[in-house]
Amino acid sequence: MLDGRTSTKAAYVSGNRLLDALPLNDRVDLEADLEIIALAAHKSTQSAGSVMGHVDFPIDAVLSVVATLENGDSVEVGTVGSEGFVESDAALGSGLSQRTSFCQVGGMVGRMTIGRFEARMTSGPFARLMRRNVRAALFSAQQFAACNVKHSILQRCARWLSMTDDRVGNADFTLTHEFLAIMLGVRRASVSEAADALQTMGAITYRRGAVTIVNRKLLNTTACECYEACKDAFAVALQV
């Protein structure tokens, strides 16, 4: 159930921007409620239909929330890094995971039991921040619904890489064409074409699954408007 769990029991200091946006008084006892866990890439963190036992606040890990269809195909419907938490339904009082989530880029998360999360959701800045974050996540999901219909694979690929770059906080990460194709819900050949175009224009280099962002500004401006729109929505949500 807790696949990918490789170490525990470090104290939470900072690193999740959502938790770090809490006023100091509301942060003092956070470490008692958080277990720091190292997650390996591709490991599951929640399964659709299962009882939600915990909430994860990514520190430097990036988590994906995916919708799985009857034929087994999965498409990413949310990417969550240090600006948020998984899964956002917990803030709406849901006891069951509606979607499957897994670790997309390995790293650390702060894990809080659902009991402690719900206790903190009764009032105050914590509850306000979580609800504002859910609002931004909802905005993003709606934006991506439009994006998937209207924007090109090159724009979407640049958008996804820009978002992941912001969340990882590191210009280098590992990502296969196949994985990116699943995330974007497109054919692998189309992703290879888009990655080649981004490399040719000088935005990224790509070798054996390792992506290096060499011109962040160019990558960001090649992305569709959805990149900035969603980034802004989460930035506004961090204001208590």
Tell me whether residue 91 or residue 226 sits nearer to Zn ion (CB atom). 226
Bridge partners (DSSP) listed for residue 38 = 108
Tell me which of 213, 224, 230, 237 binds Zn ion, using CB under 5 A: 224
Residue closer to Zn ion (CB basis): 90 or 191: 191
Minimum CB distance to Zn ion smaller for 98 or for 148:
148
Residue 63 touches Zn ion, criterion: CB under 5 A: no
Contact by Cβ (8 Å): 222, 215: no
Nearer to Zn ion, 226 or 237 (CB): 226
**230 belongs to the binding site for Zn ion (CB under 5 A):** no
Number of chain positions touching Zn ion (CB under 5 A): 4
Report, in Å, the least distance between residue 232 CB and Zn ion.
Answer: 14
Which segment (24-32, 39-47, 169-177, 220-228) binds Zn ion by CB under 5 A? 220-228
- C-alpha dihedral sign at 42, 134, 54, 12: positive
3-state SS assignment for residue 206: strand
CB of 159 to Zn ion, least distance (A): 6
Judged by beta carbon, residue 21 or residue 184, the one nearer Zn ion is 184
Tell the smallest beta-carbon distance from residue 75 to Zn ion (Å).
15
CA–CA gap between residue 214 and residue 198 (Å, rounded): 10
Structure tokens at 84: 């948020």
Q: Choose among 157, 162, 27: nearest CA to 81.
A: 162
CA contacts within 13 A on the Cβ side of 219: 25
Residues 136 to 155 in contact with Zn ion, rule: CB under 5 A: 147, 151
Q: Which is nearer to Zn ion, 80 or 147 (CB)?
A: 147
Query: Least distance from C-beta 136 to Zn ion, angstroms?
Result: 16
Render 81-105 in DSSP notation, one character per residue: -TT--B-GGGGGT--B--SEEEEEE
Q: What angle do CA 138, 69, 89 make, to 5 degrees?
A: 30
DSSP β-ladder status, 54-58 and 44-46: unpaired
Closest CA to 61 of 79, 74, 88: 79
Asked whether position 229 contacts Zn ion by CB under 5 A, the answer is no
CB of 164 to Zn ion, least distance (A): 15
**CB 143 to Zn ion: min, Å:** 7
Q: Quick one: which of 158, 175, 226, 230 contacts Zn ion (CB under 5 A)? A: 226
Preceding omega of 35 cis (within 30 degrees of 0): no
Closest residue to bound Zn ion by CB: 147
Q: In what order do the strands lie in the sheet with 100-105?
A: 44-46, 100-105, 62-68, 74-80
- 233 is a site residue for Zn ion (CB under 5 A): no
Binding site for Zn ion (CB under 5 A): 147, 151, 224, 226
